Amino acid sequence: MRHIAIIGSGPAGYYTAEAAQKTFGDDVRIDVFDRLPVPYGLIRSGVAPDHQSIKGVSRRFEHVALSENVRFVGNVTIGSDVQIAELQRLYDAVVLATGAPHDRALGVPGEDLANVFGSAAFVGWYNGHPEFAGLAPDLSGRTAVVVGMGNVALDVARILAKTPEELRDSDIVTHAYDALKSSMLERIVVLGRRGPHQIMMTPRELGELGNLTRAAPHVDPRDLPDPGDDAMLEPGLRKAVRVLREFAAIPEHIRAEQPIALEFAFLNQPRALIGDGAVQAIEVEKTVLERGRAVGTGEIRRIPADLVISCIGYRSSPLPGVPFDERAGRFANDEGRILAGLYCVGWARRGPSGTIGTNRPDGFDVVEKIAADMASGALGARGKAGRDGFDALAQERELDVVTFQDWKKIDEAEAAAAREGAPREKFVDIAAMMKALG
């Protein structure tokens, strides 16, 4: 029997478990660890609460999780409850699928002012991640600035702009639902250093901004490149730019009917956040593109900002004893191999890019490498203690391990507590999750 420990129960973790099952069959036991008592990583705490169909992929992972040779080991933080070196002694292969949970800093003065957040924190707040449930953003101001031109920026802008009715069927947690209900925002600025041809937004998600009840998108036609230049874009981006052109063509009198303006501010880079205690404005510098790169022009202006959310990427969390690439913000790895018997997948391997499905080939690729390393003898002989060894360690340390069956109890309790029309009301702290287990 071979034993594999996967750290992280997000898409990369479960795709890896699925690949290992397919490759090794009954000859393997797989333990999927998570620091939370609930599985699925960003499917639960990142993917927007009003995009329920995307969260449906967790059914595929549930199928993997319920198979006999796979086990969920929740509420165990690797790096503090248990060390990587300890897992390496117990398992033939250890795969880090810990994602990239920390916000990349904007790197401008004033970033620590109140009401300035990174998207991990802000998205975590409305999605009920225990680490960020207490964030309490102040939504009583007029203007929010969302920095970034990717799908996360779109999610944040859309959630800020939606009416309570538009959010009713989502699984947004009630503390955020209530806070957004009394939001006074009238202007949401989506700000990016580069231009419409450099956005990282997908057409479907961008198009949603054109169908909101109380908000209308504003794109300045002067920001759009010559239409003939769209031909050289890859098809997805070309479609997204077409959506921006449609937004730019919305007549002013139609836009003016909507109480919230959703403005795209292309070719502007943040220089400083200004405020006295809390943020009041963002200072930006106009940029021009030079071979696709944004270069500052020295032209500075201030945009009033009562709330700033930067959606400019994420970094992984280093783990004791594991080589880390500080510049890239992920584990130092050679196509998924870190050290003998230690691998990484998903955002922990590649950094924060790609969709849920992008993590699937990663999982299969790393399992191929594990199989090759087993065959070459690089992982040593069989006979490691695996899950029995872990259970002994957990008992010795009195760890309160959460099983997949426990998670199903939490799942049921969340579904039972849902607002009318919503799929669930998430527990937003670990103690409440544990209490639901009786």
Assess 351 for contact with ligand FAD (CB under 6 A).
no
Would you give the binding string for ligand FAD spanning residues 107-146, x where CB under 6 A is met? Answer: ------------x---x-----------------------
Q: Among 41-49, 130-138, 139-147, 378-386, which window interacts with ligand FAD (CB under 6 A)? A: 41-49
Determine which residue in the list 4, 6, 30, 42 makes contact with ligand FAD, applying CB under 6 A: 42
The footprint of ligand FAD on residues 352-371 (CB under 6 A) is: 354-356, 359
Determine which residue in the list 36, 146, 201, 322 makes contact with ligand FAD, applying CB under 6 A: 36
The footprint of ligand FAD on residues 286-325 (CB under 6 A) is: 317
Assess 54 for contact with ligand FAD (CB under 6 A).
yes
CA pair distance 32, 99, nearest whole angstrom: 14
Of 289, 307, 309, 288, the closest CA to residue 298 belongs to: 288
In the bound state with ligand FAD, the residue whose beta carbon lies nearer, of 13 and 275, is 13
Determine which residue in the list 3, 9, 64, 404 makes contact with ligand FAD, applying CB under 6 A: 9
Number of other residues whose CB lies within 10 A of the CB of residue 3: 23
Assess 414 for contact with ligand FAD (CB under 6 A).
no
Determine which residue in the list 18, 31, 92, 155 makes contact with ligand FAD, applying CB under 6 A: 155
Q: DSSP labels for 385-431? A: -HHHHHHHHHHHTT---B-HHHHHHHHHHHHHTPPTT-S-----SHH
Assess 390 for contact with ligand FAD (CB under 6 A).
no
CB 219 within 8 A of CB 292: no
Q: Among 95-103, 278-286, 296-304, 420-428, which window interacts with ligand FAD (CB under 6 A)? A: 95-103
- C-alpha separations of 156 from 149, 262, 307 in Å: 11, 12, 12
Residues paired with 30 in a beta bridge: 4, 70
Least distance from C-beta 336 to ligand FAD, angstroms?
12
The edge-to-edge listing of strands for the beta sheet with 260-265 is: 116-118, 307-310, 143-147, 187-191, 260-265, 215-218
Helix axes 174-181, 119-126, angle to 10 degrees: 100
Q: Which amino acid type is present at position 415?
A: A
Least distance from C-beta 396 to ligand FAD, angstroms?
19
* Beta-carbon contacts of residue 107 (< 8 Å; ≥ 6 apart): none
Assess 8 for contact with ligand FAD (CB under 6 A).
yes
In the bound state with ligand FAD, the residue whose beta carbon lies nearer, of 7 and 216, is 7
In the bound state with ligand FAD, the residue whose beta carbon lies nearer, of 55 and 245, is 55
Of 185, 177, 188, the closest CA to residue 217 belongs to: 188
Strand pairing report for 102-103 and 314-315: antiparallel
**Contacting residues toward ligand FAD, per CB under 6 A:** 7-13, 33-36, 41-42, 46-47, 51, 54, 77-79, 97-99, 101, 119, 123, 152, 155, 317, 346-348, 354-356, 359
